[in-house]
Structures are given as structure tokens and as C-alpha cells.
Structure 1
């Protein structure tokens, strides 16, 4: 990838090799499994999974899906968004371990992925940052006490943990829990 000087951020998506769920799960531990209701075949998955993943604030569907309960539950595997940010010159892995987490945090991203590279020798390097916080619908949540019961379960079901934040999006009908990713 070529980075033009003056461009601050560029969203990229890591590719996952393989069409089968087992290969995809092994290829990228930071993919997230999202419930999709019943999927009847690959054509159905090709139609519904991209929307399912996009609706959950992930970058895209990675092509993997499987049925966990025939006729009732299927899962689309979605990959997380990765953003590349300029960080000034980075002189090696040790320097990156200091500069990249700070660069990601300064720009409001939750974590550094560990990825970095130099775009202009001696002048500019970039860090891969990941927003590890997602919002998941949880049905109506009536209070902080109710959230403390519903949100941990909701986030866990989406391969995450509850950050402690929640809010109502549709009064008396829908609330969301803020979930952190278990990916490292």
C-alpha cells in the first residue's frame, strides 16, 4: 500500500484466506462471530452476511459462515476495522512499541494492532490502530442494575466484554451496550 504525504488516516481491512469457517477462524483470531438467524445456503449467506456485519459496526463479512442450530441459528464471521495513522519516523520495533500505542490513543482508537511500517524513510511511518469498542443492541434496559445483568451477557454473546456503558436508543423498546473486543 502506498501512503500519500499529507493523508492523515486510511481505513484498510485485513484479508482472511479460506472460505471455510475453520480456516477463517484459524487465520484471524480477531474476527468476530455475529448471529444472523437461520442461513439456508451460501447464496443466502452471500446476501445477508454483508449487511449483518456492516450493521454491527464491523468492516465487512469475511466470507465465512456456519449453522450452529439447523433452521434456527447461523453465524456470519465479520472482521474488524483497522485504520492506518501517520506517526512520524519510527526507527524499529522498540520505538514502535512506544509511539504507536500513543498515536492510536491520541486519535481516539482503543488499541494498536502491533502493525507498523515506514512510508518515507527517515520522515514518516504509519501505525495500524483498531477501534475495539462496539455497540450491541440488548433490547430494553430499564436501569443501571438491569444493565449490569443484561450487558455482560449481550457482550459475551458477541465475543466481547461489557465496558460499563449503555444507553437507550428507542424509549421502552431498545437499548445498546458498549462492548470491548476480546481480540488482542
Structure 2
């Protein structure tokens, strides 16, 4: 199975010790594995950690949760938007969506395997 790596924002990290201590937790929250690499992108304000993923989510445990998707105007709009939104979090769309703030914010139902 092939893998890929991306950077995920982690808030300000002040040292390598701190990054190594919490990087694994941040990566796990995003269903990935911390590679040990990190960098500061805005001095004193924001850092990123490098997270590795498998190209296909695996595992026997499934969890469904709604993720923010910006405004969605119709079922047709959801069919175009939600698969990519869920994929951006490492999940797959379950066909469900709802508006949570009229005209401003909707959510897509995403299934995660781990």
C-alpha cells in the first residue's frame, strides 16, 4: 500500500521536545502517523507537523461524524462537494448533509475507518 505525507497546522510549537510529545496525538486525531518532522510557519504563532497517511483508509473500526463544508445549497450541490470534503479529512461521504447556519455553513456526513 502506498503512502503520502502532508503538513497539518498544530498551533505554536516552542521546541522539538514539545513537537515530539504532542505530534503523535495531533496526527492520530487526523487518522495519520506523525513522522517526527515539524516546522514553524509563522514565528511565535503557528507551526505544522508532517503526517503520513495510507492512500486507502484501513481498519475494522468505523466512526461517522459531520464535518464543516461551507454553504451547501441543494442535494445536487452536496453530491459535488461532500465527497471531496470528506476525502480531505481522510474519510468517505455517507450521502448525508445538513445546513447548520442558514446561508453560511453546512456539514457533510463522513465515515472514517481506523
Higher strand share: 2
Q: Does 1:41 align with 2:40?
A: no
Partner of 1:142: 73
Specify every segment of 5 or more residues in structure 1 that has no aligned partner in the other structure, as ranges: 1-32, 78-111, 114-129
Q: Does 1:169 align with 2:100?
A: yes
Partner of 1:158: 89
The 4+ residue runs of structure 1 with deviation greater than 2 A are 33-36, 38-47, 60-77
Specify every segment of 5 or more residues in structure 2 that has no aligned partner in the other structure, as ranges: 1-5, 52-58
Q: Counterparts of 1:182 and 1:144 in 2: how far apart (Å)?
A: 25
Q: Counterparts of 1:173 and 1:156 in 2: how far apart (Å)?
A: 21
Secondary structure (helix, strand or coil) at the match of 1:141 reads coil
Compute the TM-score of the two structures, normalised by the length of structure 1.
0.36
Partner of 2:111: 180
Secondary structure (helix, strand or coil) at the match of 2:84 reads helix
Between the two proteins, the alignment pairs up a number of residues equal to: 91
Correspondence 1:105-144 to 2 at 5 A: 113=60, 130-144=61-75
Q: Give the root-mean-square deviation of aligned CA atoms.
A: 4.1
- Asked if the contact 2:68/2:105 (under 8 Å) is kept, the reply is yes
Correspondence 1:49-128 to 2 at 5 A: 64=34, 70-71=41-42, 74=48, 113=60
